[in-house]
Amino acid sequence: MTTNSEPTPDTQLTGYACIQRYVKTLDSSPGVYRMLDADSRVLYVGKARNLKARVSNYARPGHSGRIERMIAATASMMFLTTRTETEALLLEQNLIKQLKPKYNVLLRDDKSFPNILVAKDHAFPQIKKHRGAKKEKGTYFGPFASAGAVNRTLNQLQKAFLLRNCSDSMFDGRTRPCLLYQIKRCSGPCVGLISEDEYGESVKDAERFLSGRSTKVQEELAEQMMAASEAMEFERAAGLRDRIRALTQVQTSQGINPRGVAEADVIGLYMDSGQACVQVFFIRANQNWGNKDFYPRVGADVSAAEVMEAFLGQFYDNKEPPRQLILSDAVENADLMHEALSEKAGRKVEILVPQRGEKQELIAGALRNARESLARRMSESATQAKLLRGVAEAFDLDSPPNRIEVYDNSHIQGTNAVGGMIVAGPEGYMKNAYRKFNIRGDDLTPGDDFGMMKEVLTRRFTRLQKEDPDRDKGLWPDLLLIDGGAGQVSAVREIMVEHGVEDIPMVGVAKGVDRDHGKEEFHRTGQRPFALKRNDPVLYFIQRLRDEAHRFAIGTHRAKRAKAVGATPLDEIPGVGAARKRALLAHFGSAKAVSRANLADLKAVEGISAGLAQKVYDFFHDKG
């Protein structure tokens, strides 16, 4: 059981003196420590086998420049003791992800990875992409590096095994085969064109292929093709030939398919000029299921071992580690990391740093990709920095903006109105910071763009003042770009004055008199509109930002509209879920017909109990 050691801050003591005061209160327990500045912001989170010994190291000079700066800013500390050092390691990485301290190595863009799911809750299993918690009944294969890698594999698996990817409701509603059957991507189980047993064999073949037993599957298909050819069943033989070809294409597209590595993540780290790229290849079932690069936040004086340890701890904080981790660099506490990951997985997890053989070749490939990816990113960052300097010059900003927020609305004659906010900074689009706003204003006139923008900005600033009142978390924009001219700028300015945020520069981007792409006019409060030269890179940059905001708002609007199209009054009745809604619509043909049905007819619907039938009847007939 952990215990918390509360600090007793003394505003007179900072740096070495502050840390020395805490050393006197510590014992040799394992645990986690936090270093905080004068404003109680967390500067650093660390773990220790022996808290007193570890913190004592900070109380003496002789550190790197980064650590010296951190010590100088330290005004208080917090401690949390743990039973074991392994527990401390897991807690440390969890706190780093939550608190994002300034001086820790920090993994960014840590999203879940997609899997392929063969769902088993239906007589004819569906094969599909799955992301998130594994709650559905079925067999999961993954992770894959990206949605694109999953989609490519699914596309070829459909050709090879003819498994359905339609939803159960679509499957149950078919009366004739869909287009996928016509183009030989599905065997048509929805209309009985294949038996349950035959379909089940195809499912088993697909699972064997995804489990790495691809050679056996291909051999059996080849034998079936030869038998069909000898029996002069040429159409069936041609179909089997196409399936073998599809499987071969999956293997070819995967590139690296190691013979001696069944299940591993291959992790290569490359560092240059205070920046780092970690390249991860996912090897499952002796197949390469894609790779992804990560760019952890590091400092110029951070060692590769420290970066690798931080990456592993944070990356596998919410993911199950594979049986092997093949690394380019050793971690600082390999035995501790091995114990922590094995405990998390419930089985042994090997950590290897190979020097020769196939595993070393895999690492060499990962390192090459990491080096090339980091070079591209550094080049793009230099270009982005130049554009941001250009933006500052064009709009008379004090310095290049670190966070630009761009807003746009989307609706059709006022219906399904949404607002979209995209964010860009020194590293390009910050997609994890994008936000959508469902316009709620009941008093808005349909199509009132001014009113919509006012609602969006009001909600945005209200939230900012609540989440980051001191503006020290990096959530506040340095520049607002609004899609619109003088009217929009005036409306937004009112909101900014109302919320006391008049110090944030704001620019309206409007198309010129001819609404010509390239003749944009820029509007600022109290100043005349102006335009940039047609070939100015800053103009192209602003256009791309505006187009991205428009794309995001349009996409959000379409998703909302599509959801609304499928909505019926039945959605509002307690106890009527998706299955019962389908049953009622299938029986009566439409929601309107359900509303007119008498109680006896409602009770006759399969799956609708007498009590629920009464609820449905009362919903439509007792509104007065």
Q: Does domain 569-621 have CATH number 1.10.150.20?
A: yes
Three-class SS state of 408: strand
Q: For residue 197, what are its two tokens?
A: 């047993």
Bridge partner residues of 272 (DSSP) = 275
Q: Where are the beta strands (DSSP E) in 25-71?
A: 31-36, 42-48
Superfamily, domain 263-375 = Ribonuclease H-like superfamily/Ribonuclease H (3.30.420.10)
**Main-chain phi, psi angles of 506, to 5 degrees:** -140, 135
31 phi and psi, to 5 degrees?
Answer: 170, -165
Backbone phi, psi, residue 501, to 5°: -120, 45
The answer to whether the bond into 143 is cis (omega within 30° of 0) is yes
Please name which of 282, 280, 277 lies closest in space to residue 295, comparing C-alpha atoms. Answer: 277
Burial class of residue 342 (count of CB atoms within 10 Å of its CB; 0-12, 13-18, 19+): middle
Which SS3 state, helix, strand or coil, does residue 48 take?
strand
> How high is the pLDDT of residue 566?
58
Identify whether the C-beta of residue 115 lies closer than 8 Å to the C-beta of residue 144.
yes
d(CA 406, CA 414): 21
CA 376 – CA 380 distance, rounded (Å): 6
Q: Rounded distance, CA 77 to CA 553, Å?
A: 44
> Which ranges in the chain are annotated with CATH 3.30.420.10?
263-375
Q: How far, in Å, CA of 157 to CA of 163, rounded? A: 8
Cβ atoms of residues 154 and 127 within 8 Å: yes
Please say whether the beta carbons of 391 and 538 come within 8 A.
yes
Low-confidence ranges of the chain (pLDDT < 70): 1-12, 109-110, 213-218, 236, 243, 246-257, 411-416, 441-448, 512-518, 557, 560-568, 622-624
Measured between alpha carbons, how far is 147 from 469 in angstroms, rounded to an integer? Answer: 37
E-assigned strand segments in 131-274: 138-141, 263-272
Q: Where in the chain is the domain with CATH 3.30.420.340?
A: 404-563
Per-residue model confidence (pLDDT) at position 624? 42
CA dist., res. 397 & res. 493, Å (int):
17
Is the Cα torsion angle 104, 42, 22, 4 positive or negative in sign? negative
Beta strands in 367-467 (DSSP E): 404-412, 415-425, 428-429, 435-438
Measured CA distances, 545 to 201, 340, 398 (Å): 50, 43, 21
Distance CA 559, CA 570 (A): 20
Q: How many CB atoms lie within 10 A of CB 93?
A: 25
Which residue, 411, 421, 508, is CA-closest to 457?
A: 421
Per-residue pLDDT tens over the stretch 198-218: 899 889 888 887 887 666 666
Please give the pLDDT value at position 484: 83
Contact status, residue 32 vs residue 91, Cβ threshold 8 Å: yes
The single-letter DSSP state of residue 530 is B
**Angle at CA 162, nearest 5°, toward 161 and 167?**
125
Cβ-Cβ contacts under 8 Å for 565 (sequence gap 6 or more): none
Task: Please name the amino acid found at residue 485.
Answer: G
Distance CA 103, CA 32 (A): 15
Which positions ≥6 away from 200 have C-beta within 8 Å? none
> CA 174, 180, 185: angle at the middle one, nearest 5?
130
- Write the CB contacts of 615 (distance below 8 Å, at least 6 apart in sequence): 573, 574, 575, 576
To the nearest 5 percent, what fractions of the chain are helix, strand and coil?
Answer: 45, 20, 35
Contact criterion met (CB below 8 Å) for 338 and 349: yes
55 conformational bin, left if phi > 0, alpha if psi -120 to 50, beta if neither: alpha
CATH topology classification for 404-563: Nucleotidyltransferase; domain 5 (3.30.420)
pTM for the structure as a whole: 0.71
Instruction: Give the fold, CATH level 3, of 3-99.
Output: GIY-YIG endonuclease (3.40.1440)
Half-sphere exposure of 188 (CA within 13 A, CB side): 13
Asked if 33 and 86 count as a contact pair (C-beta separation under 8 A), the reply is: no
The helix/strand count (H/E) of the chain reads as 20, 19
pLDDT at 401: 95
- Tokens 């390192």 correspond to 367
- Count of Cβ atoms closer than 10 Å to residue 588 Cβ: 17
pLDDT of residue 596: 84
Domain with CATH 3.40.1440.10 in the chain: 3-99
Query: Is there a contact between 8 and 79 (Cβ–Cβ < 8 Å)?
Result: no
